[in-house]
Amino acid sequence: QKEVEQDPGPLSVPEGAIVSLNCTYSNSAFQYFMWYRQYSRKGPELLMYTYSSGNKEDGRFTAQVDKSSKYISLFIRDSQPSDSATYLCAMKIEYGNKLVFGAGTILRVKS
């Protein structure tokens, strides 16, 4: 079993829809949770960074962490065609050096 599970999709939605992306994990020691966006053949770009449980909002993006369920989510409001990309969740333990990634979810927003 992988430490971090993420549905690879693809997830296809119409422009303007609310998108929900999710990851589950097995290591209860994870304390830092990140979402990266990766366009085709490019490096990952940091979107959201959350420590421990709770919600964090930044513009159209909201990240949620539920440590009791070992479940994290990224919500995208008013999705745009430019949001079409692969979304990677990543996690790190306290004082850890490496990020552990999910496999990524491919998102397609249709205009």
Partner 1 sequence: DAGVTQSPTHLIKTRGQQVTLRCSPKSGHDTVSWYQQALGQGPQFIFQYYEEEERQRGNFPDRFSGHQFPNYSSELNVNALLLGDSALYLCASSLETSGKSRDTQYFGPGTRLTVL
Give the residues lining the site for partner 1 (CB under 8 A). Answer: 4, 6, 8, 32, 34, 36, 41-46, 49, 88, 90, 92, 95-104
Instruction: List C-alpha distances in Å: 74 to 1, 9, 12, 43, 49.
Output: 23, 15, 16, 19, 11
Rounded to the nearest whole angstrom, what is the least distance from the CB of residue 104 to partner 1 in the complex?
5
Which of 9/17 has CB closer to partner 1?
A: 9
Rounded to the nearest whole angstrom, what is the least distance from the CB of residue 78 to partner 1 in the complex?
26
Rounded to the nearest whole angstrom, what is the least distance from the CB of residue 41 to partner 1 in the complex?
7
Q: Are 39 and 104 in contact (CB under 8 A)?
A: no
